[in-house]
Chain A
Amino acid sequence: GENVEQHPSTLSVQEGDSAVIKCTYSDSASNYFPWYKQELGKRPQLIIDIRSNVGEKKDQRIAVTLNKTAKHFSLHITETQPEDSAVYFCAATMNRDDKIIFGKGTRLHILP
């Protein structure tokens, strides 16, 4: 089955700097890659996603890139702000079995 690896597990960046979180997946049939943000004590919520026919997608300060050949995708957050502090999860899915498999998460700390 699909396996998603996520790095780093913890990331601290100065406010205003950029943060990058990387994920790799194992099954080349995966074709949809969402990213979720989970604030402390709350439920995960979708922040951005990308499909396998697209190499990059941006939404204001966040962007996701996908390299299908290398089977990895990354989340980029620019001009980080205190409210970006949270746990971020990547996921990979494929339409042949409907599962949504998550990485282990990255705890992002924004330092003042």
Chain B
Amino acid sequence: DAGITQSPRHKVTETGTPVTLRCHQTENHRYMYWYRQDPGHGLRLIHYSYGVKDTDKGEVSDGYSVSRSKTEDFLLTLESATSSQTSVYFCAISTLGGGYGTEAFFGQGTRLTVV
């Protein structure tokens, strides 16, 4: 599993409630990413981190926030969940970022349903 785990694996929540997803790694990789996967849209980058307390926005960051207070944990928060945020969320880790080109390892995914 490349030392990356996501929790929870499944969650059902109500519209308007806050939700936090956790990504934990044991590999000490510098780069961590959050993606959402939806039919017809592929994998879309939400936010990413290039170090402790260093984060940046991706393609679809509206409605999401992230925090990284420790190297091993990258948290994704939906401040007020909406039905459009129903999706499968994947966390990924990488030793090097972007074009330096190393393999990105993905977590198992979290299936989030907002009702």
Contacts and interface: CB of A to CB of B under 8 A. Distances in A.
Contacts of B56: 97-99
B74 interface: no
Interface in B38-61: 40-45, 48, 50, 56, 58-59
27 contacts: A6-B42, A9-B40, A31-B101, A43-B90, A43-B106, A43-B108, A43-B109, A44-B90, A44-B106, A51-B101, A89-B43, A93-B99, A94-B99, A95-B99, A96-B99, A98-B98, A99-B45, A99-B56, A100-B33, A100-B98, A101-B45, A102-B35, A102-B43, A102-B44, A102-B45, A104-B41, A104-B42
A44 B45 CA distance: 14
A9 B40 CA distance: 8
Contacts, number: 74
A98 B97 contact: yes
A102 B52 CA distance: 24
A46 B31 contact: no
Contacts of B100: 32, 95
A97 B58 CA distance: 10
Contacts of A94: 98-99
B104 interface: yes
Contacts of A97: 56, 98
